[in-house]
Amino acid sequence: MNPAPFRMLYAPHFGMFRHHAGDDAVDQLKFAADEGFRAWEDNGMMGRSVEEQTRIAKAMSDLGMTMGVFVAHAEWGKPIYALGGRETMEQLRGVARSAVEVAKRVNAKWMTVVPGPYDLRLDWDYQTANVVDCLKAMAEVFEPHGLVMVLEPLNPYRDHPGMFLSKIPQAFQICKAVGSPACKILDDLYHQQITEGNLIPNIERAYSEIAYFQC
């Protein structure tokens, strides 16, 4: 007899059940559903072919599973958000428009955005203002479709040194400044325990801007 479905939308990702279900994406989804999972994540969804995206979406619909986050944009190399500018904002609008098409195809609501590294040559407050402007440009694309980009602060000590966004209070400030229902926080408790601890008080204070949890 299969386990009862989880009440909450715990979302594994591709690869976690590969040794049980094999390499095929749909087989992994079926295995997860049989084990009680009702949701799924795929950071790499944007890089999949349209055919594979459609196949995954159909399987999830047939299984009654909810699509969690995929990565709409994660900048690892250049401080494009921190430096801002009209050309960058237009580039990010294009990224957002592409993410909208994928979100519609796979029935997703939430998309992860990592706003890249900081720049050592520019005052921090100017960088914050630039990040806000870039995210406003993206939110203008997402909001009419009812989609939500979730900003993920990453720990700077163990995994992601040099990233602009690292703390929940910082993400809260930015979401308030963007002022759009299309811009919220992804609170990854793994990263936040490493960065700052104080998990429960930060959840309580930032809860109005948190749309998604990972751990």
Is residue 143 helix, strand or coil? Answer: helix
pLDDT band at 31 (very low <50, low <70, confident <90, very high): very high
The Cα 86–Cα 97 span in angstroms is: 17
**Is the predicted pLDDT of residue 86 greater than 60, yes or no?**
yes
Domain boundaries, the chain: 1-68, 69-214
Between the alpha carbon of residue 48 and those of residues 28, 45, 53, the distances in Å are 16, 5, 6
**Is the predicted pLDDT of residue 2 greater than 80, yes or no?**
no
Task: Please give the full DSSP string across 177-206, using - where no structure is assigned.
Answer: HH--TTEEEEEEHHHHHHHT--HHHHHHHH
Of 158, 65, 80, nearest to 113 (Cα)? 80
Residues of the chain above pLDDT 70, percent: 99
Q: Supply the angle between the helices 50-63 and 86-106 in degrees, to the nearest 10.
A: 50
Of 3, 2, 29, nearest to 16 (Cα)? 29
pLDDT, tens only, 138-151: 999 999 999 999 99
How high is the mean pLDDT of the chain? 97
pLDDT, tens only, 105-137: 999 999 999 999 999 999 999 999 999 999 999
> Residue written as tokens 């095929």?
24
Token code pair at residue 77:
């190399």
**Is the predicted pLDDT of residue 23 greater than 90, yes or no?**
yes
pLDDT number for residue 3: 76
> Residue written as tokens 């992601």?
160
pLDDT band at 1 (very low <50, low <70, confident <90, very high): low
**Architecture of the domain defined by 69-214:** Alpha-Beta Barrel (3.20)
Mean pLDDT of 44-52: 98
Token code pair at residue 101:
């098409």
pLDDT number for residue 91: 98
